[in-house]
Structure 1
Amino acid sequence: MVLVDTDFNRIPEGTQSGVVETEDHIKIRWARWAPTGSPLKGTVTIVQGRTEFIEKYFEVVEELRARGFYVVAFDFRGQGGSQRLLKNERRGHVENFDEFALDLHAVLDNVSLSDCPGPHFLLAHSTGGAVVMHANRRLKTKIDRAIMTAPLVGLAMNGRARRLAGALAKSLVWIGLGNAFVPGGNDKILLDYDGNTLTSDKDRFKRMNDILVQAPQLGLGSPTVSWFRAMGLATEKFKEPDFQLGFGVPSLVLGAGKDEIVSTDDAEELCRSCPGMSFVEIRGSRHEILMERDPYREQFWAAFDAFIPGSAE
């Protein structure tokens, strides 16, 4: 569960890392850094997306540290350097998003809140955003604000396709195939730049692949049927008025204008219905805003600095 160093993605100086155990006894890898800039502005905990790992965020870590933040990052169960859940470790698996919420709370309680100064903020991406929303009731007393990039409010599929996929996943879980890859899924961890839907930045895309070439144990393939089913159940709750009115973590949602993975329209619609959320679209960006080209990332950092208290000082 050590961190991986590559020629073009060096481990930031002053790294502290370790393992925390969740309430259900899953080992979660975490890392922590002190700020390099001043004045001190609090702590940001990074809540990553599906298939991601701590090493992917080293550039973001350094940018946050330079702004005066302590930074904490971790890998969700079943991915990166955290404990895998199935014999085939390339299968992205979870039974319920409550399990991801346990990972987040274990890191917050035992690393971020216990050892780092407030105020406390979350920076969540994609599936990480869905986990933050799913876990929001317990977060109200822990977190001051959250920023979510391209959060998984709904997949970029039309309504009929979503309903059919959801029904298929429910049936497959019911007959005992929950641990199988989703139909058409595989254990491939390296992607080709041409045709990718993640980023238009070739250098950052290559950096991600280079990490996986050197440390394939960090990689993750397609999700399982159970993961897909759990995702569907979690995101359906976001449409309920009780969720929207009760969401208690002041949040800024940044949608990617050219997202082909999650639905930017769904995220914007949720923000219209949820008093605790504001929405900004970064036009032209693909799904991974923080791994995109600099013009898109600069828009992200401008929004971050405007929303997080003290960040722009």
Structure 2
Amino acid sequence: DWRGQGLADRMLTDARVGHITLFTDYQRDVAALCAAARTLELPQPLHLIAHSMGGCIGLRAVMEGLPVASCVFSGPMWGIQMSRPIRPAAWALGWGSGRLGLGHMFAPGTKPASYVTSEPFEANVLTRDPDMYAYMRRQVAQAPDLGLGGPSLQWLHQSLQECRELVRRPSPDLPCLTFVGSNERIVDIARIRDRMQRWPRGTLEVVEGGEHEVLMESPEIRARIMAGILALFDTASHPVKPAQTA
């Protein structure tokens, strides 16, 4: 788990707040994971699967030379979905909160309770599969330490900065497959489309009717996505060598 989430160390006394000091701190977690992979002598080559915020972290990692043969993203946070009038306010609020010592406070519109425990299935923006939503709820009920509320103002500011910086960089020279739900309402689909149009060996697959958690949609959707992921990993692990000329 990334710092500030899951069973990893939380950054604030109030463990319900999704907080980070600098977004690039997540790269220290990536480095620790890579070091563990080397120590454990895990099979090579390595591949990357990154979802949502992990997609933002993973994109910077592969841009900076993460030793993977290919990468897969689902609902990657390469931009945060918000209306045009709200975006300048979010920038100003995030920037100003740190200077006023309020960066630890919840971002507007978010709350301390874990999303899956506070939102009914009918209104959720994560999945259209009731069984998977019930599974997420059971997880938090059985392991409350996994629960997480909304992000902090500091996290919001750092995330906006990171997305703005990454959009200016070229795509890495890696095979890439990205999935996004057609009903995505959390991350910015336009940013995803723009990135994948600029990814020479990249493919974008829009999951019709899918929400943010496309890997937690119906069994049929999950099976189709996993088949695509495994096919990419297999191809990237065994690249076809160009024919030798006489």
* TM-score, normalised with respect to structure 2: 0.88
Aligned residue among 107, 114, 124 for 1:196: 124
> Contact conserved, 1:146 with 1:249, CA < 8 A, in 2?
yes
> Contact conserved, 1:150 with 1:287, CA < 8 A, in 2?
yes
Tell me what 2:36 maps to: 110
Letter in 1 for 2:175: P
Distance in 2 (CA, whole Å) between partners of 1:192 and 1:91 is 21
Is 1:280–2:205 an aligned residue pair? yes
Tell me what 1:119 maps to: 45
- Tell me the CA shift for residue 302 of structure 1: 3.0
> Contact conserved, 1:121 with 1:143, CA < 8 A, in 2?
yes
Distance in 2 (CA, whole Å) between partners of 1:104 and 1:298 is 28
> Contact conserved, 1:122 with 1:147, CA < 8 A, in 2?
yes
Letter in 2 for 1:161: I
Tell me what 1:268 maps to: 193
Distance in 2 (CA, whole Å) between partners of 1:264 and 1:294 is 24
* TM-score, normalised with respect to structure 1: 0.70
- Tell me the CA shift for residue 298 of structure 1: 2.7
Distance in 1 (CA, whole Å) between partners of 2:77 and 2:124 is 18
Distance in 2 (CA, whole Å) between partners of 1:292 and 1:166 is 33
Distance of aligned partners of 1:135 and 1:159 in 2 relative to their CA distance in 1, 3 Å threshold: farther
Tell me what 2:107 maps to: 182
Q: Looking at secondary structure, tell me which structure has more strand per residue.
A: 1
- Tell me the CA shift for residue 310 of structure 1: 5.3
Partner of 2:148, secondary structure, is: coil
- Tell me the CA shift for residue 134 of structure 1: 1.9
Counting matched residue pairs gives 235
156-165 or 201-210: bigger deviation: 156-165
> Contact conserved, 1:98 with 1:135, CA < 8 A, in 2?
no
Distance in 1 (CA, whole Å) between partners of 2:28 and 2:65 is 12
Task: Give the unaligned 5+ runs of structure 1.
Answer: 1-74
- Tell me the CA shift for residue 192 of structure 1: 2.1
Tell me what 1:239 maps to: 167
Tell me what 2:16 maps to: 90
Partner of 1:238, secondary structure, is: helix
> Contact conserved, 1:244 with 1:275, CA < 8 A, in 2?
no
Cα displacement string for residues 149-187 of structure 1 (whole angstroms, at most 9, x for unaligned residues): 010011222333223212221111221111111123221
Letter in 2 for 1:264: I
Partner of 1:244, secondary structure, is: coil
Tell me what 1:296 maps to: 221
122-131 or 278-287: bigger deviation: 278-287
Task: Give the unaligned 5+ runs of structure 2.
Answer: 239-246
Distance in 2 (CA, whole Å) between partners of 1:137 and 1:272 is 16
**Match runs of 1:6-45 below 5 Å:** none
Q: Looking at secondary structure, tell me which structure has more helix per residue.
A: 2
Cα displacement string for residues 210-259 of structure 1 (whole angstroms, at most 9, x for unaligned residues): 1111111111100000111111011001221xx115x2443211111110
**Match runs of 1:51-90 below 5 Å:** 75-90=1-16
Letter in 2 for 1:299: R
Is 1:132–2:76 an aligned residue pair? no
> Contact conserved, 2:173 with 2:200, CA < 8 A, in 1?
no
Distance in 2 (CA, whole Å) between partners of 1:112 and 1:194 is 44
Tell me what 2:182 maps to: 257
159-168 or 262-271: bigger deviation: 159-168
Letter in 2 for 1:287: H
Computed over aligned residues only, the root mean square deviation of the Cα atoms, in angstroms, reads 2.1
- Tell me the CA shift for residue 112 of structure 1: 5.8
> Contact conserved, 2:107 with 2:151, CA < 8 A, in 1?
yes
Partner of 1:77, secondary structure, is: coil
Letter in 1 for 2:224: Q
Partner of 1:265, secondary structure, is: helix
**Match runs of 1:153-172 below 5 Å:** 153-172=78-97
> Contact conserved, 1:95 with 1:227, CA < 8 A, in 2?
yes
